[in-house]
Amino acid sequence: MGLREIVLASTLFLSTVAFSQNKLNFDVYTKRDGLPKFNSGSVKASHGEIDCSFFFGIYSMNFKKVNDSTYRETVKTSFLWILKEEIFDYTLKNSSYTFKKYSVLGEEPREEKVVLEGTVYDKKYKDLPRLFEDFKKGLMRDSVHIIVQGVPYSAKIDKTRNGDEIIYFSNPPEIKDEPGDVMVFSYPFQIRAKEKGGEIIPFLFYTKIENTQTKKVTTIEGVLNEK
């Protein structure tokens, strides 16, 4: 499942935010052994919508509350001759999501996704924008429950303090690669934040990503852009 681990990582560092601005922008830097660090992506969060772009736009994901009862995930891969867009539509009723429809542009639909259509999820599983609303109200707990590309995931969070910094740490859940996976976030990740004006503002996140084909590991670092 391409980029699902990216979403989990993004969920953990962005879910600490109580939004004081209309939009939060994070610059994403990547680094491989022997090479300098460089800016290769971004994460942008605004009310009801999250945009993630990695590796100069080769991979991107959009999470959007279309309205109070509809949620959509869009996953795009654009590299040389590979052009693919997957769309996951959900409906919300009685506080539970139902996976309504899966569609693909550029390739044949993945059967493991098609068979998930019609799945009704436990009420604890939420979309990314809804998690933001909960967390900005101070409802963050020791775990995150989210739906990613039709599959429900949970991740535990450990929290410590170092002076005026709050440090969040988590290991991603154990997930087996599926056909179509390209990048896997199988390493622990860390988020650093500070309290400001009664809010918790993340300013840095750190993890690593592995290419499932080449097995090369790349460091991922996100820095809050306060300009």
DSSP letter assigned to residue 197: T
pLDDT digits (tens, 9 = 90+) for 171-196: 766 655 566 666 667 788 888 888 77
Listed residue (181, 203, 185, 186) closest to 194, CA to CA: 203
In sequence order, what are the beta bridge partners of 75?
A: 61, 86
Say whether pTM exceeds 0.75.
yes
pLDDT digits (tens, 9 = 90+) for 12-49: 545 544 344 457 799 999 888 777 888 999 988 888 89
Distance from C-alpha of 49 to C-alpha of 23, rounded to nearest angstrom:
10
Distance from C-alpha of 11 to C-alpha of 198, rounded to nearest angstrom:
21
Q: For residue 136, give the H/E element and its range.
A: helix 128-136
Distance from C-alpha of 98 to C-alpha of 71, rounded to nearest angstrom:
10
> Coil, helix or strand for 12?
helix
The residue to which tokens 């775990």 are assigned? 143
pLDDT digits (tens, 9 = 90+) for 125-180: 999 888 766 665 656 778 888 898 898 988 888 888 888 888 888 876 665 556 66
